[in-house]
Structures are given as structure tokens and as C-alpha cells.
Amino acid sequence: MAKSKTSKKWMEEHVNDPYVKKAQADGYRSRASYKLIEINEKDNIIRPNSTVMDLGSAPGGWSQIIAPMVGDNGRVIASDILPMDGIPGVSFLQGDFTEAVVYEEILKMLGDEMVDTVVSDMAPNMSGVNTTDQYASMYLVELALDMARNVLKPNGAFCAKVFQGVGYEEYVKDVRSSFKQVIVRKPAASRPRSREVYLVAKGFKG
């Protein structure tokens, strides 16, 4: 019974969410689009003609705004375990990022090219058990950081959704070891009661 109450509360919150309504009005696939728009306005991590990797991309809220930002001479490589409808200028690979074969496929899509920015809005399927969910989400962001270290150009940027909790402080420290500057952002479109924040890391040390 508690679960359905929670689901009902989430549904009411979702339907009445001004960012959900705004996304529908603006033709964005997800309210998450506004998070990246705000981050980019502050931190300028997506630039014209650059190559961007979007991890955990479905339903496409981030890729949808990245593609026009990088323009025709830029490139966007996106991946998610869930399907995603096509977006012009975006190469999409569906698969489980935690599997080595999928990880390798993403690298294969990239070829010899290096990446300017890696963004990750990945989150695990939440079980409702806080500790389990926290470990699962930390595992995903650690993999995202590993990917960033593999593919980023020197001075490249990395932006990842991270949930505050067990392992968070250590993770921030780990990111700082590879980047010159790390900023923690809580975009306006991020629900206030959510533990999610976005780490924005700039100046990859290579």
C-alpha cells in the first residue's frame, strides 16, 4: 500500500511540475533538458563543433539540446539501456553500459576521435532501498568517469549526475584528481528534495 501511495504522490508531483509542463510546451523530451541548459549557461561545457558523449541518454532530453549546440560540424554519441527515438546529428547505441561489450561498442563508434565533453545523466532503476540504490548509482558514475578518462581530450569537460550519500565524498575527490576544476551544481529543474547534484569538471589533466 505504501508503494502505491508513493507512486501516486510522485505522479501528482510530476503532473503538476512546472518543468514537466514547460518541457511539453517547448517540445523537449524531458524536464532534464533544463538542467543541462542551466549548467551550460553557467559552465559552457558544450560548444560549437565539439564532440560530445551522452551517457544514459534516453529519452533524449540532453542529446536533443546538445546536437544543435555542437552544430553540423560537431558530433554526438549517445547510449542508454533503454531505446531512444532518433535525433538528427546523434549516433545512438542501445545497450547496458555496465557490460564490457557495450562499453567497447561505444569506443568503437568513436573510432580514433577524442571527445571534448562527456555528460552522464545515468541513474539505476531505483529499488526504494536507499543503500542499494546509492551503491548502484555510484557504480554507474564511476564507470562514466572511467569512460571520460579514456576518451577525453586534454582540457576536456565532464558532467555527471551524482546522488549524495555513501561514496559521494570519495567520488568528488576522485574526479578532482583528474580535472583542474570541479563545481557542484543543483539546477533549478532538479527537485529540491532529491539528493541529486551535478558535478561539473573542467580542464581534464589527461
CATH at residue 49? 3.40.50.150
pLDDT for the residue 184: 97
* Sequence-ordered list of residues with C-beta below 8 angstroms from that of 179, at least 6 positions apart, any chain: 158, 201, 202, 203, 204, 205
The vertex-32 CA angle with 30 and 33, nearest 5°, equals: 80
* Residues annotated within a binding site for S-adenosyl-L-methionine: 60, 62, 80, 96, 121
- The structural domain count of the chain equals 1
Q: How many helices (H) and strands (E) does the chain have?
A: 7, 7
Containing domain of residue 12, as a range? 2-204
Q: Tell me, what's the pLDDT at 94?
A: 97
Q: Which one is catalytic: 9, 161, 173, 202? A: 161
Query: In degrees rounded to 5, what are phi and psi of residue 205?
Result: -80, -15
Tens of pLDDT along the chain (206 residues) come to 345 666 665 456 555 676 566 656 655 667 788 899 999 999 999 999 999 999 999 999 999 999 999 999 999 999 999 999 999 999 999 999 889 999 999 999 999 999 999 999 998 877 778 888 899 999 999 999 999 999 999 999 999 999 999 999 999 999 999 999 999 999 988 878 889 999 999 999 98
**Strand 51-55 relative to strand 115-120: parallel, antiparallel, unpaired?**
parallel
35 carries an active-site annotation: no
Known binding-site residue numbers: 60, 62, 80, 96, 121
Instruction: Please report the pLDDT score of residue 131 as a whole number.
Output: 84
